Structures are given as structure tokens and as C-alpha cells.
């Protein structure tokens, strides 16, 4: 670990592709809003709106557009863009076949009827949904939330460069930072090594254990909870972020921790999504990324450590971010502390393990969560949130 008093220059990881993309263009400043008059309009879904922000702010560098057909096919078949750049998930914009012909040239992208950006349509091509489901999600089962969303979308994909008129700070203006803004904070704090942590679930003691073990090795911790669309039974983003806030207030070193939300939508693509999560955190300035058990998984569609093993498809220098692989972590009653299979000799009946489903069931039933599983302050945030739903 470097020392924070080291006077040498801060050199953050180069964004994927060499340059941090910036496609944010402000009406009245970067262009005349009158130019949009009479153009066709396309209303974005939750996921497409999140993708627009990720593209325009550089979180998905080197992409500047929804994928072309050549890139789409290459990503599915080879987990690379057509030029060979590592990339694992198709970032596409789906429309219905009957309306696809309306979208030519420049299209105004809208959200709730309000113009939020533009798309310069360069291609319209057929979605290969069966192939996409098999390659990306490893299943065509419509019970998989990612597959369900894929088949519910249109059959034609539009491709071309995008612009975004303003970064939507949304429900978390204090924590909503673009990749460039996160990089500025990292540089200002003098962090030469930064580990990023992704989660869509409420924070618990096993997460805290991973954070603090890693903080022994690096200068700073970027807590980066995903706050885009998730499946209906996941804990709402507002509750999860509040849980982070109360935990950080009492149990983390403020100067070495940054809470910043990650506005992407969840795809539940398991191993392939783990790659995207890592590559995009490189764009945010992280040098390390934690990948734990069943990262970005759902149900039993992926093996416990598939999301760790898939990174062997790339050379380390291609990824440009160091992957930290952790095994399942839990509280052992006999050891009296947080452990993993690497450090604990006891059988499963000694362990306190609560799945996300079990946590939600206990909260809905008004039951508390044990202190060995999560901090009391976090448990209270979760309890209050579920009580308010009743």
C-alpha cells in the first residue's frame, strides 16, 4: 500500500479505450434547442435511460453509442467489441418492428415526455434474442429477469452516437457522481490505489469484512452501490443507500472511503455482468475490484464462482483493473468472528448464513436481524423501511 503523503503524481488507470468519453451536451450552451424541432421522438425505458447516462458520461468508455450490429455479434460470440476491446454485455436500444422505420437521422430521446438527449441513427438491425439469451444469460428460461426483459423488448435494435443533455442526479444528488467527478475526488484525496465494491443488496457484516480486509492493501474504498432498475423484490435503492450512510458514519474511516452511486440498471447476467462492472469501475478510476460469491447472479443460473473464473478469458493488462476474488464470507459462532472457507475449520451448522431472500422474509415478518449478520444501525434502517410498506 502506498502512503497518502507520497509526493509523486497521482496516476489513475487509463479509461478503457484510452479516453474517458464525454457525450454530455447542454441545450442553449453546446447547441441551439431549436435544432430539435420536428425531429422524431423515442421514449426511453428505465434501462435504456440508465444506459444513455452510462454511455454519455464515460462509464461505458470506449462506447459512444448503442452497439452496432458488428459489435453486438462480436460481444455475444467473443466477449469483445469488433476491434478486439474487451466487452461482455450488449448495450442496445430496442424498438418495435412496426415503429423502427420512423427512426432515421437524428432522434430526440425522451423520458416522461421530456427531451433528455439525442441518438444519431446509423443502423437498424434484427435482435438475435435466442442467441443473446443463451450467450449472455446462459439460459432461455423466461423466469430469469434478464431474459424476461430481453424478450419483452422490441425486435429491432437502433445504433448510433448519443448525447445526454444533463446528468440526472435523481434521488441521490449528494452521492451521484460521473466517472470524471469520482476521478477528481480520488486525485484530491491522494489515493494511488482504489478498490471498488458493487452491490445491489443491503450492506451486511460480510461486506464490511471484505471492505476492511481490502483497505489493509489499498489507499481508498469506492463504495459503489447500483441504484438503477432492479427486480421487484430487491430492497429499494433508497433503503440500501441509507443503510450505507449510517454504516459509514460509525464504522468506516471517512478519509479513506467514498460513497458514490452507480446508476446502471441491473441485468442479472452473472459472470458477464461481473466483467462489465469491473471494466466500468476502471473508467471511474478504480485500480482494484472485488468479485465475491455469485456476483450479479440470480436464482441458480450460475455457479458459485463462475463470475470469478470468467476473468481468465482476458489478459490482466487488457482488463486494466486488478480483480480481487473472495470466497463466501460468514459469521462462525465457534470462531466468534467473520470467516471464509479459507480460514474456518468448522462445518456449516456453526455458521450464520442468511440469504437475501431469507433477510427479506424476516423483515416482512417484522423480525430483527442478528448483530452477527448486520450492524444494529443498518438493521434498524431495514426494519423501518419494511414497516413503512405495511
Catalytic residue among 201, 256, 293, 383: 201
What gap in Å lies between CA 316 and CA 6, rounded to an integer?
26
Please tell me the distance from the alpha carbon of residue 327 to that of residue 229, in angstroms, as a whole number: 27
Q: What is the DSSP string of 27-48?
A: BTTTB-GGGGTT--EEEPPHHH
Distances (CA, A) of 138 to 76, 133, 157, 278: 11, 6, 21, 20
What are the distances in angstroms from CA 78 to CA 16, 73, 83, 313, 350?
Answer: 17, 8, 11, 9, 43
Pair type for strands 194-197 and 288-291: parallel
Please tell me what DSSP assigns to residue 268. -
Say which of 177, 200, 240, 375 is annotated catalytic. 200
Q: For residues 64 and 67, give the distance between their C-alpha atoms in angstroms, rounded to a whole number.
A: 9
With residue 125 as reference, give the H or E element that holds it: strand 123-126
Specify which residues 42 forms β-bridges with.
109
Q: Is 200 a catalytic residue?
A: yes
Give the Cα separation of 157 and 68 in Å (integer): 9
138 is catalytic: no
322-335 core/surface letters (b: 16 or more CB in 10 A; e: else): bbbebebbbbbeee
What distance in Å separates the CA atoms of residue 319 and residue 322, rounded to the nearest whole number? 8
- What are the residue numbers of the active site? 200-201
Amino acid at each position: 500500500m502506498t502512503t497518502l503523503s507520497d509526493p509523486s503524481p497521482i496516476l489513475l488507470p487509463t479509461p478503457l479505450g484510452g479516453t474517458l468519453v464525454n457525450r454530455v451536451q447542454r441545450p442553449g450552451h453546446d447547441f441551439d434547442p431549436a435544432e430539435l424541432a420536428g425531429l422524431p421522438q423515442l421514449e426511453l425505458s428505465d434501462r435504456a435511460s440508465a444506459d444513455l447516462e452510462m454511455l454519455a458520461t464515460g462509464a461505458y468508455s470506449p462506447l459512444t453509442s448503442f452497439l452496432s450490429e458488428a459489435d453486438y455479434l462480436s460481444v455475444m460470440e467473443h466477449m469483445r467489441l469488433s476491434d478486439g476491446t474487451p466487452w461482455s454485455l450488449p448495450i442496445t436500444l430496442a424498438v418495435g418492428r412496426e415503429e423502427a422505420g420512423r427512426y432515421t437521422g437524428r432522434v430526440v430521446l425522451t423520458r416522461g415526455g421530456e427531451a433528455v438527449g439525442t441518438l444519431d441513427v446509423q443502423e437498424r438491425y434484427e435482435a438475435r434474442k435466442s442467441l443473446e439469451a443463451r450467450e449472455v444469460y446462459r439460459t432461455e428460461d423466461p423466469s430469469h429477469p434478464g431474459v424476461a426483459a430481453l424478450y419483452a423488448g422490441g425486435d429491432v435494435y437502433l445504433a448510433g452516437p448519443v448525447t445526454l443533455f444533463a446528468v440526472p442526479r435523481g434521488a441521490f444528488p449528494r452521492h451521484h457522481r460521473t466517472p470524471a467527478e469520482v476521478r477528481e475526488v480520488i486525485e484530491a484525496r491522494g489515493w494511488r490505489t482504489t478498490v471498488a465494491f458493487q452491490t445491489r443488496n443491503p450492506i451486511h457484516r460480510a461486506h464490511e469484512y471484505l471492505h476492511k480486509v481490502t483497505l489493509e492493501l489499498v489507499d481508498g474504498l469506492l463504495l459503489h452501490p447500483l441504484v438503477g432498475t432492479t427486480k421487484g423484490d430487491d430492497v429499494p435503492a433508497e433503503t440500501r443507500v441509507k443503510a450505507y450512510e449510517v454504516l459509514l458514519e460509525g464504522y468506516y474511516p471517512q478519509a479513506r472511503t467514498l460513497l458514490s452511486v452507480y446508476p446502471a440498471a441491473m441485468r442479472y447476467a452473472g459472470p458477464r455482468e461481473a466483467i462489465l462492472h469491473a471494466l466500468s469501475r476502471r473508467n471511474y478510476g478504480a485500480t482494484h475490484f472485488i468479485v465475491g460469491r455469485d456476483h450479479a447472479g440470480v436464482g441458480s443460473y450460475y455457479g458459485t464462482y463462475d463470475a470469478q473464473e470468467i476473468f481468465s478469458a482476458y489478459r490482466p493488462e487488457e482488463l486494466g483493473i486488478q480483480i480481487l476474488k473472495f470466497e463466501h464470507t460468514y459469521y462462525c459462532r465457534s470462531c466468534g468472528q467473520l470467516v471464509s472457507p479459507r480460514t474456518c475449520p468448522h462445518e456449516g451448522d456453526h455458521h450464520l448464513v442468511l440469504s437475501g431472500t431469507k433477510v427479506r422474509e424476516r423483515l416482512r415478518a417484522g423480525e430483527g436481524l442478528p448483530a452477527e449478520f448486520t450492524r444494529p444501525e443498518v438493521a434498524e434502517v431495514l426494519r423501518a423501511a419494511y414497516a413503512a410498506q405495511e
